[in-house]
A and B are shown apart, each in its own frame.
Chain A
Amino acid sequence: MNEVFVTVNGRERVVKFINSDKVIIDGREFRYDLSSENEFHYFLRLNKKTFDITKVAKDKNKIAILTEGNYFECKVQTKLEKNAETILAHSEKSHHKEDVVSPMPGMLLKIQKNENDEIAIGEPVLILEAMKMENEVTSPYSGTLKKIYVRENTPVEKGTKLFRIE
């Protein structure tokens, strides 16, 4: 099988499966066994210890898990995907261009910034009301607030595009 690039806690590991009980991580060989009870609950045996793993969320390049009370969000890429990302990053001079989406359903109460404002990472951009609490939605990047997709006093769903930082 091919190599998979996994980033856990900011550190990348190269994982290569040799067969169904041997895996190489960054050149070191481990014996493992992976089984599942259902699509949410897995058992991973690594050396002498068995770990219970529950799947919290998964999309194409991201897998979030809980094991032994520890939560991990892992970025996973094939070699091909990683190469593509590197090329893309170079061509865009590694500028962040990203739509920020609503983390939850709620009511958009207030927009605190204007388009074309310079925004620092962590700076609040708008106030979202959910569960009767006002929640500040902050910018995950520093950059220019290129576009605000939403209007005040409108409901938003989880995943609704809120604004774009470039």
Chain B
Amino acid sequence: MFKKILIANRGEIAVRIIRACKELEIISASVYSEVDKYALHTRLADESHFIGESLPSESYLNQNKIIELAKEINADAIHPGYGFLSENASFIKKVETSGIVFIGPSSHSVELMGSKTAARDLMKRNGVPIVPGTTEKISSLDSAKKNAKEIGYPILLKASAGGGGKGMKRVFAEDELEAAFSSAQREALKAFGDDAIYIEKLIENPKHIEVQIIADKFGNYCHLFERECSVQRRHQKVIEEAPSSFVDVETRKKLTTTAINAARACAYYNAGTIEFLMDKHKNFFFLEMNTRLQVEHPVTEFISGIDLVKEQIKIASGEKLSFKQDDLRILGYAIECRVYAEDPENNFLPITGTVGYHRLPSGPNIRIDRGIETGSEVSRFYDPLLSKISVMEKRREEAIKRMDIALNDYLIAGIKTNIAFLKRILHNKKFIGGEYSINLIEEDFLSAEIGAGDGLFNEELENVAAIFSAYLKQQPQIHSQAKKVFDNNKWTELQYE
């Protein structure tokens, strides 16, 4: 087993990995940028090392600095988390040649799956169904026009090197193509350093269903069932659940078998996810493979009972999978909500600021993954994900209820979040019925006036809001006035001045 792991990431995922290291009695070494000097991941690790300015390119994306540091501190392995360098094949190659173990797949697998067009081609040749569209990169508007016409509108423009919704645009008619194409190219170039675009037929009202795969270096492949991540805004996931309420036993069998085939096709090892779009007839199409740990891995850990991060580390160190497919059962229903610093009433624009107060929900089968606490700074440099709440219960309705209550208990001050918006989704009829597609937010929340109605607000809460804000208006200094709650200190005799 490894002695020391360098965690090349920040925020909640770095914290998650540090905890796994501690449980395995491996020394955890975190890296931090200027603004993250006292971030949670910096403080929780056994060691922390400064790697550069706040801009990601100077710090968390600085490949050479990270590899040099790993050598210098005698780290055996690097865990990349998600985002940043996690799916960067050239980085992984450099790590491999430096003699340090990369906790994840080989650079070869990442390269095969990293180009979305090459991956589509590979899947097609291995009998994995793909969304109709081009398997080649498109670099000119003329060629985009020609291909779009052949495929037939509506279409989806996607960045060849892409992910996370960057460089992705929907186009319903030819006159929208030019603006969308140049915008997609710009986003792709900035996000991935490559402006190659490809075109897919837009599958209307699909569900996003993905299968968690895990494999060791001895050719043992297992799936950890599916997740449904159809609740998305701006092509990014907001609420994920496992298993999908839409997938029946027979479909699950086909889906997971296909996913394992897809992973075998690129000689995959470690944890990975095959994403599919599923239409209303339960036909599914390969979307892409995420060759890393996913943000939403907690729901899978809940329903499978497997600790994915520890498993990742063991596989990387050369161990065999600690379980077999037949050992696995679906243990319940799990849901995850991503709490973002963002403004749902304003196109989900990210919000920056300082967390003035933070209280997390707790209770049976409630799990929190977080990178922040009271006093944390949410800067413009990084993703606005603050924390993830995951819950499990026996049945889906019970899990939704548990999540709703957990969100009531979540207190956060000083920064606007999507908590109230998440609650509105949990109360949405389509969501509760499981009959929703990736267009749920757009259809049910963006066209209607946000913040009003839904039967969520009640008279009493509005009175609470009215009294509180009226009081604060008249007495802006109430917190410094006499009426403080905790001002009698029983332990006075233990205070040293």
Contacts and interface: CB of A to CB of B under 8 A. Distances in A.
B468 A132 contact: no
Nearest to B411: A54
Interface in A111-136: 127, 129-136
Interface centre among A1, A64, A106, A133 (most CB of B within 10 A): A133
Contacts of B451: 9, 71, 73
Most buried by A among B183, B191, B349, B464: B464
Contacts of B415: 56
Given A9-B462, A36-B484, A63 B349 contact: no
B349 A135 contact: yes
Contact of A37 (B382, B457, B468, B486): B486
B343 A103 contact: yes
B396 interface: no
B413 A71 contact: no
A157 B456 CA distance: 35
A40 B357 contact: yes
Contact of B464 (A37, A46, A127, A133): A46
B420 A66 contact: yes
A130 B479 contact: no
A39 B410 contact: no
Contacts of A39: 356, 479-480
Contacts of B464: 44, 46, 51, 53, 67
A132 B191 contact: yes
B420 A36 contact: no
A30 B462 CA distance: 13
A71 B350 CA distance: 17
Contacts of A53: 464, 468
B27 interface: no
Contact of B471 (A34, A73, A129, A136): A34
Contacts of A77: 473
A68 interface: yes
Contacts of B420: 66, 69-71
B357 to A, nearest CB: 4
B166 A66 contact: no
Contact of B408 (A2, A68, A132): A68
Nearest to A71: B420
A63 B468 contact: yes
A126 B334 CA distance: 40
Contacts of A20: 483
Contacts of A106: 380
A138 B191 CA distance: 23
A135 B234 CA distance: 10
Contact of B186 (A52, A57, A58, A109): A109
B401 to A, nearest CB: 13
A66 B469 contact: no
Interface in B389-416: 404, 407-416
B111 to A, nearest CB: 22
Contacts of B234: 133
A63 B473 contact: yes
Interface in A52-98: 52-58, 63-74, 76-78
A10 B347 CA distance: 20
B416 A56 contact: yes
Most chain A CB inside 10 Å of its own CB: which residue of B186, B350, B423, B483: B350
Nearest to A43: B485
B478 A34 contact: yes
A104 B415 CA distance: 13
Contacts of A134: 183, 186-187
Interface string B428-469: 000000000000000000000001100011001111111111
24 contacts: A4-B474, A6-B470, A9-B452, A11-B462, A13-B462, A15-B467, A30-B467, A34-B468, A34-B478, A39-B479, A56-B416, A63-B468, A65-B469, A66-B412, A66-B417, A68-B461, A69-B407, A70-B456, A71-B451, A77-B473, A104-B351, A129-B190, A130-B349, A131-B382
The 10 closest A-B pairs by CB, nearest first: A40-B413, A40-B356, A54-B413, A71-B420, A15-B470, A4-B470, A74-B469, A40-B357, A63-B469, A72-B465
Interface of B: 165-166, 183, 186-187, 190-191, 234, 343, 346-347, 349-352, 356-357, 359, 380, 382-384, 404, 407-417, 419-420, 423, 451-452, 456-457, 460-474, 478-480, 483-486
